[in-house]
A = this chain, B = another copy of it.
Amino acid sequence: MNIAQLDALTGAISPVEGYLRRLLQEVSGNRDGTVADYIPELAKANPEDFAIAVATVDGAIYCAGNTDLPFTIQSVSKPFMFGYALQEHGLETVLKKVGVEPTGDTFNSIILDDVNNRPFNPMVNAGAIAMSELLRGNTPADQAAEQMAFLSRFAGRSLEMDEAVYRSESETGHRNRAIANSMLQKGMIKGPAEDVLDLYFRQCSILVSTRDMAVMAATLAAHGRNPLTKERVISPGNVRDVLSVMATCGMYDYAGQWMFDVGLPAKSGVSGGIIAVLPGQLGIAIYSPRLDSVGNSERGIEVCKRFTRDFSLHAYVDRTDTRSVVRRMYRGDEVKSNRVRSRREVDVLLEEGHRIVVIEAQGPLFFGTVERLIRQAAEFAEGRQAIILDLRRVAYADRAARLLLRQFVGELAERGCKLSFVEVIGNPNLAGLQEAFSEEVAAGKCTFVTDIDHALEAEEDALLAKHGLRYGDEKLSLSELELFQGIDRDDLATLETAILTFEFEAGQTILRAGEEARLIFIVARGSVSIHLGDSSVESRRIAAVGPGQSFGEMALLDGGRRSANAVADTPVLAYGFAVEEVRRLAKDRPQILEAMLANIVRSLSGRLRAANDQITALE
């Protein structure tokens, strides 16, 4: 079956899998190298077996060849068991047992770091044997089970051992016996040597598929969280340490050239497996048993070289993007809160709104992005009253981000500028961020607000207060209301006879979308929010209406139904006009209705213009 037929069968739209299949076909021509024979069982491998698997950090898996074929893991287990030791015993204890320096010698070297009295690193046999002794368990059997369970968590399924290979390893492992006994003699392990060696032989004999290895590598790429089971297997800090040792010691004597050609932390094994990790993106695994003179899979090396070259995956091809951390910046005179303001308030905000700056951040916040964000913000900070930092689209904020932002909050406060964080509360990407600023919040230097609309409203209110405008100060007089502009005194007097008075409690729904529209309201006291959609669901506020402002005017259109919900934010006193009554009055005085309609057209037109401005600012 050719690739096109396979594609047609699966029906998947996957350029990656298509690429891997072509790569497998092309590299199949490479028949260099020889199958390892130092353990009799390994020599039985079919030299033509060949599989490639790529697993992404979010669990997509791309396969080429027989990626389910099992083989023994051998040395590919070593970085994971180093991770086990770090996870269970901590770095300090582990570094007493093993170093992190590469050695110019072969993987089964008996030469040890006598200065520090430990094997050179955990990627050579001696180091791995030292790690085996750190397995938890009261009996060797418990320890073996612990080892199997731990590697299974990386693979995302229960692994098993190949008994034949295990016996072969155990019966012919003279070199490893020499290493273990030499370590015992120097006091690097406590022994009994046979128990430790048995654990090590068992570890090497665990069966994995190429697919399993890709998932194991992807677990390292995903900071220690298995992308299939979502289980955290080891901590991000321990992943960092594991990858560091893989980078310098993972490919035997080929470290420098590997870093040069491929540049990814990797580990190979004598059965013909290789894994490589691209942190944050993927794990790749190859199985092909023919080895080169250094002991790495011939085809495995070729696949890694070509895959990383074709897709620019080398670790030192920079993928960091610090430029787009600021998604956009705008001022309070460009975008306003949805609070409907009086003309005087609007005038003040047009004049003074530039003292409020909104910065929308996006992507991950780490040193390079936060440094840039703060630098851009600082340029704008002079003369501002408030900076609102919208973190809705932030993927995470690391240690550096917190450290720099806390410093920045302090420095802004000294300049009389307050920072408001928006969309942090309840944001799973930013868990713990608010707590990190508890001192600054207590000192009034920064604040956490649920959403941008309320943060803007609060800063607008603060700005208006500085100009002597307090919310609710507006007096109600029909002649001043926008809705009644252009209606003469006599007609207004007639209208006033139709006024009804209403009181609503905070939280009460005043209008409901879909209801028949019979009344037009004017707020006398309090605040009313207009929401689209189902009022039972948390929905976007499209307007907030205060004293002297009207809502529900669309009732003037024939057969109108409410198009939105109106909810009292506070206790509300409102005046209402029955539409029927207005129509009755307009029979004799058509200019009343005409003027009101024209006023609504003006108001809608203004709101449409503001909405268009907002769309422009948002794009």
Residues of A at under 8 Å CB distance from B?
7, 12-16, 18-19, 56-58, 60, 99-104, 121, 221, 223, 236, 239-241, 243-245, 247-249, 253, 255-257, 259-260, 263, 265, 278-282, 310-324, 362-364, 366-368, 371-372, 374-375, 378, 381, 393, 395-396, 398-400, 403-404, 407-408, 411-412, 415, 486, 532, 540, 542, 554, 556-558, 563, 590, 593-594, 597-598, 600-602, 604-605, 607-609, 611-612, 614-616, 618-619
Contact = CB atoms under 8 A, between A and B. Distances in A.
A260 B241 contact: yes
A313 B263 CA distance: 18
Nearest to A95: B260
Given A281-B322, A594-B594, A249 B256 contact: yes
B408 A13 contact: yes
Contacts of A248: 248, 255-256, 259-260
A598 B600 CA distance: 9
Nearest to A263: B244
Nearest to A400: B311
A619 to B, nearest CB: 7
A412 B15 CA distance: 11
Overall SS of chain A's interface = helix
A316 B243 contact: yes
A313 B367 contact: yes
Q: How many copies does the complex hold?
A: 2
5 contacts: A58-B372, A312-B366, A312-B398, A324-B395, A614-B615
Contact of A363 (B363, B396, B411): B363
A100 to B, nearest CB: 4
Contacts of A101: 253, 255-257
Given A381-B13, A590-B590, A100 B257 contact: yes
B15 A280 contact: no
A449 to B, nearest CB: 16
A259 B280 contact: no
A332 to B, nearest CB: 17
A57 B320 CA distance: 11
B310 A403 contact: yes
A322 to B, nearest CB: 6
A431 to B, nearest CB: 16
B102 A395 contact: no
Contact of A542 (B221, B319, B612): B612
Given A317-B398, A590-B590, A601-B604, 16 more contacts: A13-B378, A14-B378, A56-B372, A58-B323, A102-B102, A247-B259, A248-B260, A280-B368, A281-B320, A282-B371, A311-B367, A312-B367, A554-B601, A597-B598, A608-B608, A611-B615
B594 A316 contact: no
A99 B368 CA distance: 33
Contacts of A372: 56, 58
A259 B256 CA distance: 13
A316 B265 contact: yes
